[in-house]
Amino acid sequence: MKKSGCIKKAFHLSLLGVLVVLASPVFLGKLNFYGSSHAAPAAATADTPISSLSLNAPVSYADAVALAAPAVVSIQTTQEVPAARNPMLQDPLFRYFFGDQNPDYNNNDNKGKPGNAPPKETLQGLGSGVIVNDKGYILTNNHVVLGADTVTVTLADGRISDAKVIGTDQDTDLAVLKINLDKIPVIQMGSSHQMRVGDVVLAIGNPFGLNKTVTQGIVSATERTGTEIGILENLIQTDAAINPGNSGGALIDSFGRLIAINTAIYTRSGGNQGIGFAIPIDIATDIMNKLIEGKPIVRGYLGIMTQALTKETRDYINYKEGDGVYVRAVVHGSPAQKAGLLPGDVIIKINSTPVKDERAVLQLVASLAPGKSYPVDIYRKGQFISYAIMLGERNKSSQATQPLGNEEQR
């Protein structure tokens, strides 16, 4: 019996020793509870595939925010516009009885000099931006600075600087600003083409003037384009909350790398409804470099409006099978009209590249050089025809300026 008691005592001591070892901080630090890891993630570079990092994704995103947030700035703009006049002042009868409050307004005096200038009012705008290099260049949205008379940037550390607009691109809703300050924070650049639906992303900006606001979500979809959003290039869709003031801010991955510039939301109320859009950084970087170098950003223009082929459309035009897009309308005086394209045609190929949907047409035409002739293969009334079409240049008169969701001209 003594021997048995000794054995039990020894067993209890051994078990106690195991529990002590298991409870030690060193051992706990090596455990992985429910797939989470307390170890610091491996250093990430722009070339590191996202898939190889997913198993080591951080539980907290505080480090990613600390890395990226200092480079996200607040942008304030001002613009002087004619003040709205009381409609009563436009009534001649009112002016007859009460006098004209500004009798020289829009009139010339006897010497031919213009009358008094209309009263002015100052509009103020608010947006966000991202410092992308140590030379002071900032990426933001075109609509943030459009028409602005003054642009002022406030850094995360509180410093304020006037900013110069280096260039803008309406089609991608991008703008490049420049500030002249020393020791400015710069965001780490990522690569948007590696992002997958379901990847965690963080939006950083100044919604409603609330500086340094961070929201978290996932990549909801990719390759959202003109017919859906009103912007030419592919966009990343996210459910990270984006609100007024977030425009031009950073969309980062879980390691703090910039992967897109926030640009728009789909909303019926004016606030966030879980559908936001951002310009991929791979596209934004290319546009930014051209704007900085002063290179013109030119895109081809065909002059058609298209829609997807439906069963009803296929039956109507007797095009039962095959890829392509249906030409709904042809813009008067456009390259497409001059070449002979007609509403009801089905575009099958552009420059020998098959097109499967409207997005493919939009991107193919935009990628081609204006002033050059390209083959466009179509189907019309049972026949397959090839046209040689000299593209025009996509400019302000041909760019889409419709609100979110309207059709894009190609």
Residues marked as catalytic: 143, 173, 247
Q: 340 — phi, psi (to 5°)? A: 115, 5
Q: 367 — phi, psi (to 5°)? A: -80, -15
Residue type, 207: P
Contact 204, 249 (CB under 8 A): yes
Tokens representing residue 346 in the block: 């089905």
Q: Which long-range contacts (CB under 8 A, 24 or more apart) does 181-186 make?
A: 181/136, 181/155, 184/71, 184/131, 184/134, 184/136, 184/155, 185/70, 185/71, 185/131, 185/155, 185/156, 185/157, 186/71, 186/131, 186/132, 186/133, 186/134
Contact 376, 386 (CB under 8 A): yes
* Torsion angle, alpha carbons of 23, 29, 35, 37, to 10: 160
Return the residue matching tokens 């079409």.
Answer: 389
Strand partners, 390: 373
Residue type, 267: T
What distance in Å separates the CA atoms of residue 165 and residue 176, rounded to the nearest whole number? 6
Contact 337, 331 (CB under 8 A): yes
For 65, the 3-state DSSP assignment is helix
Please list, in sequence order, all residues whose beta carbon lies within 8 angstroms of the beta carbon of residue 252, skipping any fewer than 6 positions away. 64, 68, 187, 190, 201, 202, 204, 258, 259
